[in-house]
């Protein structure tokens, strides 16, 4: 199996000295993990290689036979303006550097500069090119609004427009090496979004999930970075960390908002430097995985109180999606209900039951503080005790009644307008009861059984009320 190359576009190294080319190539690979490089010793071949496509960055020497580096730079600027050029020359001349920058060079270095300075300049150019390509990709996909790979989202049952827009965004940024931040309440399906992003990323490695909530600093570092033998008491053997397990794949860190400040510092270094140290080791290892993080916490609020580092927050939010709660996409409830009925019946070895008429309407009146996870639990509980062909609504009603006293801390919809504010005189109790009955029937879609449950009365009592209204 071929190794994934980094970056996604090629980097062409041009110099007539083969020893320098090999040295620079090895330095870029060992210091920055850059492996997608090509070597060229003849400056006359550069434009032909660029015409073939796939090259995004050129590292160019100036003093070469046949065509000088400055001539090649001018030709690249005219024929391939989207290709960035970094000049790495043996000449330390200010006038030459100024001419190159005016001709379109991204940066200028001297071969005698420190390796870290040259590597840093190459990484800056790579990140600039990546951002440019991401912006173009996102613009084209978001404008079209069409998913190229809808199969990646088959695990998420929805027909909501906000969710479909979220899918388009995730598909657009899936191949980006920058972190992806997924926010949303517990139970909305943040891990499913992370799995979809991993499938779309093209990474050949696996998705490694780590829930970091409750991990102290030492356990966090050991879990992510691993340790060498003898790093601490009891470390009799070396252990690979989750970062290494996710190499060439995706590292998904869930509940990132609960990290301690010392652990946040370690994560920030991992993301900024692209390297980490296993516990007890002085030799750094390169980060070779895409990082996706998720949280149900309000990170801006935690950052405002000092509980979350500002620099880490802005590092994580390069790409960000918010998964809306179920109460904001009630149209998905019938779809999810049918999906979970089929799934529960299959898992429990039963025939899929027929839901009672009005069940979806009844569930749509509930706020679901536990979101999709809560709905799934309701369905599994109802199917597990199901006996007849028609599914009983009692299990759902009891679940809602049990949850009602505990839902005080859950987010609630905006308060409804006073229904009597338009009346010059207050209605009588009889009139108010009539208004309440008609509202319940409207919400229940004309289903009297469901309307009676919404009102907390029996169906005979509702029928009596209706007869009184008609009279």
Do 304 and 334 belong together in one domain? no
Do 317 and 349 belong together in one domain? no
Instruction: Categorize the per-residue pLDDT at 1 as very low, low, confident or very high, splitting at 50, 70 and 90.
Output: very low
Output the pLDDT for position 462.
83
| Spatial separation of the C-alpha atoms in residues 206 and 208, rounded to whole Å | 6
Neighbours of 393 (CB within 10 A): 19
Do 159 and 300 belong together in one domain? yes
Closest alpha carbon to 177 in 57, 287, 342, 321: 287
Q: Which domain holds residue 304?
A: 153-324
| pLDDT above 70 for 445 | no
Do 318 and 331 belong together in one domain? no
The verdict on residue 157 lying in a domain is: yes
| Spatial separation of the C-alpha atoms in residues 195 and 184, rounded to whole Å | 16
Output the pLDDT for position 5.
79
Output the pLDDT for position 414.
44
| pLDDT above 80 for 140 | no
Q: What is the pLDDT of residues 317-345, one digit of tens each?
A: 989 999 999 999 999 999 999 999 999 99
Do 382 and 255 belong together in one domain? no
Q: For residue 335, what is the domain's CATH number?
A: 1.10.8.60
Q: For residue 108, what is the domain's CATH number?
A: 3.40.50.2300
Whether 25 and 7 have beta carbons less than 8 Å apart is answered as no
| Spatial separation of the C-alpha atoms in residues 29 and 115, rounded to whole Å | 12
| pLDDT above 50 for 2 | no
- The mean pLDDT of 80-106, rounded to a whole number, is 91
Task: Name the domain boundary from 81, 101, 136.
Answer: 136
Output the pLDDT for position 138.
67
The verdict on residue 410 lying in a domain is: no
The verdict on residue 464 lying in a domain is: yes
| pLDDT above 60 for 408 | no
Do 222 and 356 belong together in one domain? no
| pLDDT above 80 for 53 | yes
The verdict on residue 142 lying in a domain is: no
The percent of residues above 90 in pLDDT, for the chain, comes to: 58
Quote the mean pLDDT of the chain.
88
Task: Name the domain boundary from 324, 341, 365.
Answer: 324
Q: pLDDT: is 455 or 309 the higher one?
A: 309
Q: Which of 142-156, 222-236, 287-301, 320-334 has the lowest mean pLDDT?
A: 142-156
| Spatial separation of the C-alpha atoms in residues 66 and 68, rounded to whole Å | 7
Q: pLDDT: is 197 or 7 the higher one?
A: 197
Output the pLDDT for position 3.
55
What secondary structure letter does DSSP report for 291? Answer: E
Do 317 and 333 belong together in one domain? no
| pLDDT above 70 for 233 | yes
Dihedral of the alpha carbons of 18, 19, 20, 24, in degrees to the nearest 10: 100
- The mean pLDDT of 143-159, rounded to a whole number, is 84
Q: For residue 439, what is the domain's CATH number?
A: 1.10.10
- The mean pLDDT of 203-221, rounded to a whole number, is 92
| pLDDT above 50 for 413 | no
The verdict on residue 17 lying in a domain is: yes
pTM: 0.71
Do 173 and 197 belong together in one domain? yes
The percent of residues above 70 in pLDDT, for the chain, comes to: 92
- The mean pLDDT of 108-116, rounded to a whole number, is 91
Output the pLDDT for position 284.
87
Instruction: Categorize the per-residue pLDDT at 45 as very low, low, confident or very high, splitting at 50, 70 and 90.
Output: very high
Number of structural domains found in the chain: 4
Do 451 and 465 belong together in one domain? yes
The verdict on residue 233 lying in a domain is: yes
Q: Which of 42-51, 153-162, 383-392, 435-444 has the lowest mean pLDDT?
A: 435-444
Instruction: Categorize the per-residue pLDDT at 271 as very low, low, confident or very high, splitting at 50, 70 and 90.
Output: very high
Structure-token match 């090259």, residue found: 55
Do 128 and 159 belong together in one domain? no
Q: What is the pLDDT of residues 152-209, one digit of tens each?
A: 999 999 999 999 999 999 998 888 888 999 999 999 999 999 999 999 998 889 999 9
Strands (E) located in 191-318: 207-211, 226-227, 239-240, 250-254, 275-276, 285-286, 290-295
Q: Which of 76-80, 196-200, 448-452 has the lowest mean pLDDT?
A: 448-452
Q: At what angle do helices 190-201 and 161-173 cross, to 10 degrees?
A: 40
The verdict on residue 148 lying in a domain is: no
Output the pLDDT for position 395.
86
Whether 285 and 326 have beta carbons less than 8 Å apart is answered as no
Do 319 and 279 belong together in one domain? yes
Q: Which of 32-36, 151-155, 309-313, 438-442 has the lowest mean pLDDT?
A: 438-442
The verdict on residue 160 lying in a domain is: yes
Do 232 and 348 belong together in one domain? no
| pLDDT above 80 for 422 | no
Q: Which of 101-105, 422-426, 440-444 has the lowest mean pLDDT?
A: 422-426
| pLDDT above 50 for 303 | yes
- The mean pLDDT of 253-271, rounded to a whole number, is 95
Q: pLDDT: is 429 or 70 the higher one?
A: 70
| pLDDT above 90 for 362 | no
Q: For residue 242, what is the domain's CATH number?
A: 3.40.50.300
Output the pLDDT for position 141.
63
Q: Which residues, in sequence order, are CB contacts of 231 under 8 Å at separation 6+?
A: 278, 279, 280, 281
């Amino acid at each position: 199996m071929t190794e994934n190359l980094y970056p996604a576009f090629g980097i062409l190294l041009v110099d007539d000295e083969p020893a320098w080319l090999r040295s620079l190539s090895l330095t870029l690979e060992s210091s920055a993990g850059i492996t997608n490089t090509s070597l060229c010793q003849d400056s006359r071949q550069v434009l032909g290689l660029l015409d073939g496509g796939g090259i995004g960055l050129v590292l160019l020497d100036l003093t070469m036979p046949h065509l000088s580096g400055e001539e090649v730079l001018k030709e690249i600027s005219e024929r391939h303006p989207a290709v960035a050029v970094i000049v790495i020359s043996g000449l330390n001349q200010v006038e030459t550097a100024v001419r190159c920058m005016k001709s379109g060079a991204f940066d200028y270095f001297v071969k005698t500069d420190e390796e870290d300075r040259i590597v840093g300049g190459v990484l800056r150019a790579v990140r600039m090119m990546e951002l440019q390509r991401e912006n173009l990709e996102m613009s084209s996909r978001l404008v079209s609004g069409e998913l190229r790979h809808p199969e990646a989202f088959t695990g998420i049952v929805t027909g909501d427009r906000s969710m479909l827009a979220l899918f388009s965004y995730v598909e657009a940024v899936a191949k980006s090496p920058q972190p992806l931040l997924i926010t949303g309440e517990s139970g909305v399906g943040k891990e499913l979004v992370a799995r979809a992003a991993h499938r779309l990323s093209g990474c050949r490695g696996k998705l490694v999930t780590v829930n970091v909530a409750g991990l102290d600093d030492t356990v966090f570092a050991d879990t992510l970075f691993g340790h060498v033998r003898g790093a601490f008491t009891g470390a009799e053997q070396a252990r690979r960390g989750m970062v290494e397990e996710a190499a060439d794949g995706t590292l998904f860190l869930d509940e990132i908002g609960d990290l301690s400040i010392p652990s946040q510092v370690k994560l920030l270094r991992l993301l900024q430097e692209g390297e980490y140290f296993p516990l007890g080791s002085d030799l750094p290892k390169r980060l070779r995985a895409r990082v996706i993080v998720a949280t149900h916490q309000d990170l801006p609020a935690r950052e405002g109180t000092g509980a979350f580092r500002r620099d880490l927050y802005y590092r994580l939010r390069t790409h960000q999606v918010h998964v809306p709660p179920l109460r904001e996409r009630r149209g998905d409830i019938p779809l999810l209900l049918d999906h979970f009925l089929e799934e529960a019946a299959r898992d429990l070895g039963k025939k899929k039951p027929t839901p009672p008429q009005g069940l979806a309407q009844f569930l749509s009146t509930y706020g679901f503080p536990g979101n999709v996870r809560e709905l799934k639990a309701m369905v599994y509980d109802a199917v597990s005790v199901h006996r007849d062909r028609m599914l009983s609504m009692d299990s759902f009603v009891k679940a809602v009644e049990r949850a009602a006293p505990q839902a005080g801390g859950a987010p609630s919809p905006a308060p409804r307008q006073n229904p009597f504010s338009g009346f010059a005189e207050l209605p009588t109790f009889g009139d108010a009861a009539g208004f309440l009955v008609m509202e319940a029937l409207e919400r229940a879609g004309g289903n009297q059984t469901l309307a009676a449950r919404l009102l907390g009365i029996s169906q005979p009592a509702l029928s009596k009320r209706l007869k009184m209204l008609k009279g």
